[in-house]
Structure 1
Amino acid sequence: MSDAFTTRMLNVTTGSRERVVDLTGECEDFLRDAAAGRDGLLNIFVPHATAGLAIIETGAGSDEDLLAALHSLLPADDRWQHRHGSPGHGRDHVLPGLVPPYATLPVIGGRLELGTWQSVCLVDTNKDNRERQVRLSFLG
């Protein structure tokens, strides 16, 4: 594989509750090896039909606010046509329409370029799938 393109798969345990998982540290660890001081792009992809990625502030309540907003927009009730799994699971399949399963971010000098309060987060509302994968790919 060329030095210009490197990829790694992360395994993330989200458990049996809705979660916002901060992946910023894992992204930075990956870039330390993959980017080696170069400029480029980090692509993050979640190969799941019921999870997404958000660039948000964490630790000040925004992660819980995001889950509350998603609960308001996508209630876990019986309105969904997609009905297997836990009650309301159909809304988990709508989630990636609002919180996409991908993000592409700039890398400058081998470092992720995020705003002061921004973090890369996995958003998982699906209580039935406790294990997630996240693909990190650097192109530079």
Structure 2
Amino acid sequence: MGVEVTLVTGRTLRQGRAMEKGKLTAEYAQAVGYCELSSSVLEVLEIDEGDAVSVESYHGSVVVIAKENAKMDPGMAFIPCGPYANVVIGSETAETGMPDFKGTRVKVFPAESQPMLDPKELLTSILEEDG
């Protein structure tokens, strides 16, 4: 069972600091490889904070770690800017020159046995898909 939400992406202090150390580091993956969800969405999905979730959109899907945000509206989700968010927001710009960093409709599912890839594995999988 999945839950449909509106994805918002953005910069965070932790993401900015980790980016300075390198985008292929474990620290960077931890800083950007999560999805903030409301407590009620975690309940509906029957998962806990720290469990893996699959975030899917028209553009693609990615596995990240669920993070509870008690102040988050149940219809919203947040992923920090980075390679994980980029997979699901896509590159279409609708002639504005900027992808839709705010407002992409996604569906979130428990990831079951799917692992979260580290940044290098994620980028390799994207390059293989583009062939």
TM-score (norm 2): 0.28
Task: Point out which structure has higher relative CO (alpha carbons under 8 A, 6+ apart).
Answer: 1
Q: Which is greater in Rg?
A: 1
Pick the structure with more helix per residue: 2
Pick the structure with more strand per residue: 1
